[in-house]
Structure 1
Amino acid sequence: MVNGNFRDYAIVACGTMIPELNALKETGFLDGVLLYTAPGLHQVPEELEKQLQKQLEVAKEHAKKIIVVYGGKYCYINMRDSYRTIDRVIDEMREDGYYIARTEVENCLDMLATVEEREQLAEGQNIWFCTPGWLKYRDMVFKGWDKANANENFPQYTGGGVMLDGIGFFDQYAIEHVEEILDFSDWAAIPLEAHSVSLERLKQVLIAAMEESSFQ
């Protein structure tokens, strides 16, 4: 896949993926329009739906082909209506003359490393995996969480936390914002380290979605 083949596409993505997608745009791999919903909206499905619909309308003003960079299982959970999924929200936005495809992954972690790759990395330990966006946009991703919420969720990860870092984010962030990393580790009561990954997995996920939309 050569750079520039996304020029006819608009991409609507969760803001958690801003660091990686902007990196792909800077290298020339993505040359279409990038639009984002706010990070952390998996906790507020009504707002996620509202922002996703709005950004899809904006995307239609720029392109006839649209890729939604969201997972299907964990990124949108509607407790009031379990049958309402992110794919149903997207389907309601379809109209003649437009092609919309969603990345075929369960969550943002899958965009950077497969389940099998994460299992190999964990080596049998219970590890909390995250991406750079989870730390960079911590205030939005964990909006409404207090120490009690952290104590309920993080101690089970006895192997600590591992950031899947495909852009060299962690090392630079540790230089400029080391206190934020230490504060997060203290709040979550687990250590956080980074594991370098390639963005090739993300590229392939995007290519697969592009190919899907091309044949609808």
Structure 2
Amino acid sequence: MAALSFKDYAIVACGTLIPELNYLKDNGFLDAKIIYTAPGLHQVPEELEKQLQKQLEAAKKLAKKIIVVYGGKYCYINIRDPLRTIDKVIDEMREEGFYISRTDVENCVDMLADGEQRDAIADGQKVWFCTAGWLKYRDQVFKGWDKANANENFPQYTGGGILLDPIGFFDEYALEHVEEILDFSDWASIPLEGRAVGLERLKKVLISAMAEEDRPADG
């Protein structure tokens, strides 16, 4: 059986996942062409849709097989048109001769640890989970938020915040940007810590989105 390869694929991903996907690319697992939308667009569905459509058109010029690395439940919520989903946006971009799939997850957190894993990590506490991108691109992810918005959302997480970290990001980031982590914790009124998780979940999610003929026999 040939070695697993994404070389025939283009990936269109949320910029929130830049740290993890670039890590996989730099370490040889993800040999695909990757195009990103801006981080934090879940708050602006119209702009998310616009950028996703633009990047899908760009991806079609790079490959016949495309994987959209976005969640289906929380990444795109259109209040003006609740029946319009991210899959409908993607379906409108399909055309003969192209394979387009989306990662079968709820959101970026779900890409790194599934519900059972998160429950085990939370250990009965109400925890706010995030990924490296939520901290690194905080200004974009929380664009328009003030202290009042933070007070309405974060204090309910009595177990604090946990950054799911499969790439050693948190400890390295803390060495150079500890003041940003402390500032975030103060703003959110909850402590934030990193928790190491493996890359197995993310790899599995990406492999599952491949065309059936490209997946390993046990994928």
TM exceeds 0.5? yes
How many angstroms apart in 1 are the aligned matches of 2:190 and 2:2? 41
How many angstroms apart in 1 are the aligned matches of 2:86 and 2:213? 17
After superposition, the C-alpha distances for 1:82-130 in whole angstroms (9 at most, x for unaligned) are: 1100000000000000010000000011100010110011111000000
Equivalent residue pairs, number: 215
How many angstroms apart in 1 are the aligned matches of 2:135 and 2:148? 19
How many angstroms apart in 1 are the aligned matches of 2:3 and 2:37? 25
Please, what TM-score do these two structures have when normalized by structure 2? 0.95
| 1:126 corresponds to | 126
Conserved? CA contact 2:4–2:214, under 8 Å: no
Partner-residue secondary structure (3-state), 2:148:
helix
C-alpha change, 1:149 and 1:65, in structure 2 (3 Å) is same
How many angstroms apart in 2 are the aligned matches of 1:72 and 1:2? 31
Structure 1 runs of 4+ aligned residues shifted over 3 Å read 1-4, 211-215
Unmatched runs of 5 consecutive residues or more in structure 2: none
| Aligned-pair Cα RMSD in Å | 1.5
Instruction: Within 5 Å, give how 1:1-216 maps onto structure 2.
Output: 5-212=5-212
How far residue 211 of structure 1 moved from its aligned partner, in angstroms, is 3.4
Please, what TM-score do these two structures have when normalized by structure 1? 0.97
Identity %: 76
How many angstroms apart in 1 are the aligned matches of 2:144 and 2:2? 42
After superposition, the C-alpha distances for 1:3-36 in whole angstroms (9 at most, x for unaligned) are: 6610000000000000000000001111110000
Partner-residue secondary structure (3-state), 1:182:
helix
Unmatched runs of 5 consecutive residues or more in structure 1: none
How many angstroms apart in 1 are the aligned matches of 2:188 and 2:3? 40
